[in-house]
Amino acid sequence: GFIGKLDEYEKQQIERVIEIAFNNGYQFWERLLSNQMGLSIRPLSAQESWNYVWQRFNDTPPRSVPQLLSLTEAGVTEEVYSEIHPVSLLMEDYTAIPFADRRWINLKEKYTAVMLFLDKPEGWRNKESQMRYLWQVMAKDEVYDTDCFCEISKANIKTVTSKMHSLTKQANVSSKYAEEKNTINVKAQLNIQKNVEAQAAIYEGAVPFNVSVVFLVHRDSPQDLDQACYTLKSYFPPPAWMVRETEYPWKIWLETLPISWSRLLMSPFKRSHTYLSHIAPGLMPVVKTRTVDRTGFELISAEGGTPVFIDLFKQHKNLGIFGTTRSGKSVLASGIITQALAHGIPISAMDYPKPDGSSTFSDYTAFLGDKGAYFDIGREAVNLFELPNLKGLDAKLQQERLTEYKEFLVEALMLMVLGSTTFHDRTYTDNIRAMLSLAIKAFFDDDQIHDRYVAANINGLDSQEWQLMPTLADFIDFCSLERLRVTSVSGDILQGLDQVKLRLRYWINSRVGKAISRPSTFRSDAQLLVFALRNISSDEDAALLSLGIYSAALRRSLASPVSIFFIDESPILFQYNSIAELIGRLCANGAKAGIRVILSAQDPDTISKSPSAAKIFQNITTRLVGRIQPTAVDSFVNILKYPSEIINKNATEGFFPKQEGMYSQWLLDDNGIYTYCRFYPGSALLTAVANNPEESAIRQTAMRLHPQDKIMAMHYASKKMAEMRNSEVQVVTSKLPDPRAEVGLQN
């Protein structure tokens, strides 16, 4: 019998409803939007859907999903995490309870008005203007805190066709009646033409849809709400028609919720409109600023003011930053670095400072305390033979990564012994490599060397044991026949061994060599490590310093799954082929070790002339271009293949950073997709990295006035810099011509 089977019957009914919704609903719209319209779409997950509904009612972090129905091949399953009804959970406190009025809804201490889009414009110039119809209004600065909802459902094609036939007949009757009166009914003839065209489109495959478009406008007071609704309405001139709902806005507001069963504008009477498939896209809010990622470093799009994210922290990306002097490159880079530090990502940076050693990041690094280390070749030392910190890794992985670091040391020593030239005999080169490999093995197998490493790492920086950490000077003692345990000695081996010891002794006594052959004078495991390259006299010096920097970056990558390598003022550094080769290697192979490369340059000219240009440009797929010189436009067009009509905007005076708005302007290029954006740095960040002489002097003065309190020093400097910028803006404004004076002269 049927006794006791009610629950099973209800479950089957629910399962049937959900299956029909999936097969006839979701899959149909997915094919239409994805395949036919070419849109990139994805369904929201259960948690994302719940988060959206939660944020409609609350400003607090969302709770977990209370109840969840899942449809799988095995059928429908229900997961209950709370016995409380979801709607009850949504109303967390009194501010989450909607209060209805005839003109607005009050929720979250905001007033919300409902605006109905009741008729479309007569037409659009082209497909692009049709798709941008709603976006060009939503993107205006005056339109903010505004939501646009569009609900589309299939219309009954037989009903629509029948209605068109009736309208055509009615128009024909009106037209014939006018002819009998010897007049012309223009409206009737237009209706006949439009109805015939619509019927022809249906016969050719067009599909009719019911389209409901609603705007929700949010403001802090009813007065502001009235003005905002009037402003929004003014952006849709006739024949487009928008009205404000003044009878039951609460009902339509409820219909915009995804948890509402009621269809939008379909009750108590139908106020949606029926449009054919080639017209409906113009009323769908499917156009917006394309964001690169969903989270990460935030920029604000110039059109629309929506967030645009670049995620270098969870995804592998190499980034290029281009812009002339005073375009805001360093401030933008410091914003990325600050966020990377917040994610716990170690950063190695190469900087080209002023002759006195100061640079954009010198004060910024000092402000970080123990988290930052600033390596100046004239003042500090970095130990080339310092080992990576492999704590936390399993024994097998530790051994693999230690082997990788030993292989790097062999390559570094090869460059120090043979230089960057390639005119050596192959046999001679192989002998040198073999001797260095054997010496490295003997060096790290020595018990005393091992004990000195352990003692240095246990006692840490500034200890006596740290000063005894093995260095390049200790390694030279292992370049002997006794240490190498060579049984048969030939003239080539003796010659090569003498060459190794001679070159290495030369380096440990040179100014640059001393910088990498002493125990490190800073914490090389600091989260931010800045290498200041100044007074480089030759390509060999640059090559040696690049080895030290590469060793630090490699140590970080071996000890961390993700790291960032930043090169500021890269065109200066690209004059040295060894550094260019180092950067090219990182761009091409850094992804394997989790290294993200960020380049900062004024233009791509110098990079394009380096031997590693192909490796670099092919692996930097995300670029930010600020204000550039007009003479540099051709470089971006010829080298980076930018359309001239796009990059020309970057060369205008209006593309310089705006002091009055405290933002810099950028062209974001993500795999050939161009978006104009703005970067709004915090005042403290701007104060920390501002590098023109006046701003640097203010910062130094603040640090002297508050030597014990860095936060107070930055606050003081930020205030003084803001006063300086405001005075400059006022001076510029006072120099502008008075329009009334010009009118008087014309009269």
Q: What is the mean pLDDT of residues 484-502?
A: 82
For the ranges 9-13, 211-215, 450-454, which has the lowest average pLDDT?
9-13
Q: What is the mean pLDDT of residues 492-505?
A: 88
pLDDT (0 to 100) of residue 539? 67
CA distance 503 to 479: 12
CA distance 364 to 553: 20
Could you report the per-residue pLDDT of 340-377, keeping only the tens digit for each? 999 999 998 887 777 666 677 888 888 888 888 887 76
Could you report the per-residue pLDDT of 49-59, keeping only the tens digit for each? 999 999 999 99
pLDDT (0 to 100) of residue 578? 62
- Report the percentage of the chain scoring pLDDT > 90: 30
CA distance 710 to 371: 14
pLDDT (0 to 100) of residue 337? 93
pLDDT (0 to 100) of residue 277? 81
**Phi and psi, residue 203, nearest 5°:** -65, -25
Task: Pick left, alpha or beta for residue 462 (phi over 0 → left; psi -120 to 50 → alpha; otherwise beta).
Answer: left
> Model-level pTM?
0.79
H/E stretch holding 476 = helix 472-476
> Number of H helices and number of E strands within the chain?
31, 20
pLDDT (0 to 100) of residue 395? 82
For residue 520, is pLDDT > 90?
A: no
The DSSP bridge partners found for residue 348 are 529, 565
Q: What is the mean pLDDT of residues 280-294?
A: 86
DSSP letters spanning 433-468:
HHHHHHHHHHHHH-HHHHHHHHHHHHH-TTSHHHHT
For residue 422, is pLDDT > 70?
A: no
Contact 718, 686 (CB under 8 A): yes
Tokens coding 69? 């129905």
In this prediction, residue 423 has a pLDDT band, given cuts at 50, 70 and 90, of: low
Tokens coding 393? 């890794």
Mean of per-residue pLDDT scores for the chain:
84
Three-class DSSP category at 41: coil
Using CA atoms, how far residue 167 sits from 171, 173, 194, 395, 396, in Å, is: 6, 10, 10, 82, 81
In this prediction, residue 529 has a pLDDT band, given cuts at 50, 70 and 90, of: confident
Contacts of 476 (CB under 8 A, 6+ apart): 501, 504, 505, 508
CA distance 615 to 637: 19
For the ranges 252-266, 402-416, 655-669, which has the lowest average pLDDT?
402-416
CA distance 247 to 656: 49
In this prediction, residue 188 has a pLDDT band, given cuts at 50, 70 and 90, of: confident
Three-class DSSP category at 152: strand
For the ranges 114-118, 461-465, 552-556, 604-608, which has the lowest average pLDDT?
552-556
For residue 176, is pLDDT > 90?
A: no
Q: Which residue has the higher pLDDT, 478 or 556?
A: 478
In this prediction, residue 510 has a pLDDT band, given cuts at 50, 70 and 90, of: confident
DSSP structural state of residue 10 = H
Contact 225, 217 (CB under 8 A): yes
Contacts of 158 (CB under 8 A, 6+ apart): none
Q: What is the mean pLDDT of residues 513-532?
A: 82
Of 582, 571, 522, 566, give the one whose Cα is nearest residue 361: 566
pLDDT (0 to 100) of residue 738? 47
Note the Cα 80 to chain centre separation in Å.
Answer: 37
- CA neighbours within 13 Å on the CB side: how many for 333? 34
For residue 293, is pLDDT > 90?
A: no
CA distance 300 to 662: 13
CA distance 236 to 221: 24
Q: What is the mean pLDDT of residues 721-732?
A: 66
Contact 532, 362 (CB under 8 A): yes
**Phi and psi, residue 345, nearest 5°:** -90, 125
Q: What angle do CA 433, 435, 436 make, to 5 degrees?
A: 65
DSSP letters spanning 191-214:
HHHHHHHHHHHHHTT--EEEEEEE
Contact 249, 102 (CB under 8 A): yes
First vs last Cα of the chain: how many Å apart? 101
pLDDT (0 to 100) of residue 224? 96
pLDDT (0 to 100) of residue 3? 61
pLDDT (0 to 100) of residue 576? 65
Q: What is the mean pLDDT of residues 476-496?
A: 82
Contact 647, 667 (CB under 8 A): yes
In this prediction, residue 744 has a pLDDT band, given cuts at 50, 70 and 90, of: very low
**Phi and psi, residue 305, nearest 5°:** 65, 30
pLDDT (0 to 100) of residue 742? 38
Tokens coding 743? 């009118």
For residue 494, is pLDDT > 80?
A: yes
Tokens coding 465? 């044991």
CA distance 415 to 540: 9
Second CATH level (architecture) for the domain 318-380+522-689? 3-Layer(aba) Sandwich (3.40)
User: What burial letters (b/e) apply to 41-61, b meaning 16+ CB within 10 Å?
Assistant: eeeeeeeeebbebbebbbeee
Q: Which residue has the higher pLDDT, 491 or 506?
A: 506
Q: What angle do CA 272, 273, 278 make, to 5 degrees?
A: 135
Of 282, 355, 401, 386, give the one whose Cα is nearest residue 37: 282
For residue 740, is pLDDT > 50?
A: no
pLDDT (0 to 100) of residue 250? 94
In this prediction, residue 382 has a pLDDT band, given cuts at 50, 70 and 90, of: confident
- Report the percentage of the chain scoring pLDDT > 70: 92
Tokens coding 220? 């802090």
Q: What is the mean pLDDT of residues 530-556?
A: 73
Contacts of 608 (CB under 8 A, 6+ apart): 617, 635, 639
In this prediction, residue 536 has a pLDDT band, given cuts at 50, 70 and 90, of: low
The DSSP bridge partners found for residue 75 are 72
For the ranges 81-90, 256-265, 324-333, 388-397, which has the lowest average pLDDT?
388-397
Q: What is the mean pLDDT of residues 69-87?
A: 87
Contact 696, 358 (CB under 8 A): yes
pLDDT (0 to 100) of residue 664? 93
Q: Which residue has the higher pLDDT, 443 or 423?
A: 443
**Phi and psi, residue 320, nearest 5°:** -110, 130
Sequence spans of domains, the chain: 98-288, 318-380+522-689, 382-515, 692-747
Q: Which residue has the higher pLDDT, 435 or 357?
A: 435
**Phi and psi, residue 697, nearest 5°:** -65, -40
DSSP structural state of residue 126 = S
pLDDT (0 to 100) of residue 645? 92
pLDDT (0 to 100) of residue 743? 36
For residue 657, is pLDDT > 80?
A: yes
Task: Pick left, alpha or beta for residue 644 (phi over 0 → left; psi -120 to 50 → alpha; otherwise beta).
Answer: alpha
For residue 201, is pLDDT > 80?
A: no
CA distance 699 to 690: 9
Q: Which residue has the higher pLDDT, 256 or 275?
A: 256
Note the Cα 547 to chain centre separation in Å.
Answer: 30
Of 501, 444, 408, give the one whose Cα is nearest residue 493: 501
Identity of the amino acid at 143: V
User: Dihedral, CA atoms, 452, 456, 458, 462, nearest 10 degrees?
Assistant: 160
In this prediction, residue 747 has a pLDDT band, given cuts at 50, 70 and 90, of: very low
Other CB atoms within a 10 A radius of the CB of residue 635 amount to 20
Which class for 511: exposed (0-12), middle (13-18), buried (19 or more C-beta within 10 A)? exposed
CA distance 557 to 188: 75
In this prediction, residue 403 has a pLDDT band, given cuts at 50, 70 and 90, of: confident
